[in-house]
A and B are shown apart, each in its own frame.
Chain A
């Protein structure tokens, strides 16, 4: 089922205009829907069990119901999604999958259980230290347990079905990665906001449908000629979830090109390595623990500062804009080190704390414009 008509990009953009319209239509057609909060949720397992995994990203507007139950320091992703749940807007989800990424998410899972008793809640606790045999053994057990919990709801999941889902997701991931390469190397062919629309719509549409649109879209772009270069400053964006595409739009309106990102609703979620052969759950363990670790996790030997410098340089970015969701503790713990490393490498950074589901504040535009002016002056 492909939602809407028009070119692939028009469909991707229209899906982003109303996040859950597609998921509601899928649910109405009889397919079970699993909401998930974190890119560490093993979507392949859910998919293999017949679920349509859709990402919970909150929605625009106020949060009066959630405000009564959550502390002031819960982030806008948790607050807005919980408000949507309390108002019944997420009732189309049969199952909700949480990851233990931070205290807010851990506690939200419990709150969700008590306030939405008809929705099943599964918590996936990836090891916070992701390297080493113990971490792998532990996560193998976690994913085995998650498989059993899903099977209890939907019936047995065959290894072949999991392998097929891993294969489907890998094909999709490969296309997204090709799109990121295009954006870096042929930056005029696709804007940063369009790329983010592709990525965001990919977690809101059934993978098969998204893939069917994405494949010709990527092939066509790869074959397209380069438009005249715009000679605008190239900017790399790093941060938390960032489902509010208005921030990327505002940045590009300020006169720069967002050429690459390290966002959770961006390249980070597509950084999984290829699946090794053998047991499919073992393969998922290797893939999820082998990905670029999110700031909520720690991998020995992985330096997020050095990583960002390398990525920014590879993208030939003149500066890095941090869009950090307010109260996103894991990111704010990493930020001082990451920024110091960036400064030492001579790459200017701009930190902006964002509320995900409110309109882009005017002040953000001033900061973005001033940052672009600074980068231009440096380049002249």
Chain B
């Protein structure tokens, strides 16, 4: 396959994502791999996998924008752009009527408000700890011995959510253990965890001012329990892209293409 390609590499705390778009801005390939402990290595690995999938070589990349919390670890980047700008760009490219983006990744969550042209009006980000993010769900799923991809579907079967008062991963874990000891069902606890996350996201969303259409991006968007809970909390339906995890990398690739056109 021929280049040139424009690459976006999004190195997050949990996974690294790479997207290649062609000169027309068409999404050609996308890859997601676990980040592991070495972010530079993860970036190399995910980009190599994307190139292999496209049957291309490094020389076929005309420009590369790195994003995510490991953005400064990406070798060969033309420049770095924050994940806030990239998620907004990716979501708006797929859904031109998008006015809001909710992104919940491995260790942070964001609410972004867009104007009709896709420019960021305002954004909010969670505080420094990973409360109410993907990591929080992973720890809780492990405590409850529920595979991560079953968390959402099982939460949706609960008749009511258990009361979880904290999204602090450490406090919530002990709360979950107490609830289990009191005989609360796993489903209700899962529903309670989804509700806790939605309440936290809702406070970010309220501060930025949500308007439809709202796009949800990031790995946690794959969790239907959380998606439904957020929809209830913010009062708008969420649009979840087919591959919500790659929105940041897609936005980065599209920005790389836009840079080259300048």
Residues of B within 8 A of A377 (CB): 85, 119-120
Which chain B residues border A353 with CB–CB below 8 Å?
127
A366: interface (CB < 8 Å)? yes
**The stretch of A125-133, A192-200, A368-376 that contacts the partner chain:** A368-376
B residues in contact with A366, CB < 8 Å: 69, 82-84, 125
The reply to whether A370 and B69 contact each other, CB–CB distance below 8 Å, is no
Q: Does A311 contact B (CB under 8 A)?
A: no
Is there contact, CB below 8 Å, between A370 and B123? yes
Which residues of B lie under 8 Å from residue A348 when comparing CB positions?
121-122
Roughly how many angstroms separate A378 CA and B125 CA in the complex, as a whole number? 20
Assess whether B120 is in contact with A363, with CB atoms less than 8 Å apart.
no
Beta-carbon nearest neighbor of A373 in chain B:
B85
Question: Is B81 an interface residue, CB under 8 A from the partner?
Answer: yes
Q: Which B residues are within 8 Å of any A CB, using their own CB?
A: 69, 81-85, 108, 119-123, 125, 127-128
Interface residues on A, range: 10 to 19
A116 CB-CB contact with B under 8 Å: no
Instruction: List the B residue with the shortest CB-CB distance to A364.
Output: B128
Flag if B123 contacts A373 (CB, 8 Å). no
Q: Which residues of A contact B127 (CB under 8 A)?
A: 353, 363
| Cα of A353 to Cα of B124 in the assembled complex, Å | 12
Q: Which of the residues B119, B121, B125 comes within 8 Å of A363, measured between beta carbons?
A: B125
Asked if A367 is at the interface (CB within 8 A of a chain B CB), the reply is: yes
Q: Which residue of B lies closest to A326 (CB)?
A: B127
Contacts of A361 in B (CB 8 A): 128
Q: Which residues of A contact B69 (CB under 8 A)?
A: 362, 366
Nearest CB of B to A299, in Å? 29
A to B CB contacts below 8 Å, 13 in the list: A363-B108, A366-B69, A366-B82, A366-B83, A366-B125, A369-B82, A373-B81, A373-B120, A374-B85, A374-B119, A374-B120, A374-B123, A377-B85
* CB of A360, distance to nearest CB on chain B (Å): 11
CA distance A367 to B81 in the complex (A): 11
Chain B residue numbers with a CB within 8 Å of A362 are 69
Chain B nearest Cβ from A356, distance in angstroms: 15
Residue of B with least CB distance to A348: B122
In the docked arrangement, what's the CA distance between A361 and B107, Å? Answer: 14
Please report the C-alpha to C-alpha distance between residue A361 and residue B81 in the assembled complex, in whole angstroms: 18
Chain B, Cβ-Cβ closest to A378: B119
Complex CA–CA separation, A206 to B214 (angstroms): 57
* A369 to B128 CA separation, bound complex (whole angstroms): 16
Residues of B within 8 A of A363 (CB): 108, 125, 127-128
Determine the distance from Cα of A348 to Cα of B209 in the docked complex, in whole angstroms. 14
Pair A367/B125 contact, Cβ less than 8 Å = yes
> Closest 10 CB pairs between A and B?
A370-B84, A370-B82, A373-B85, A374-B120, A369-B82, A361-B128, A363-B128, A377-B119, A366-B82, A367-B125
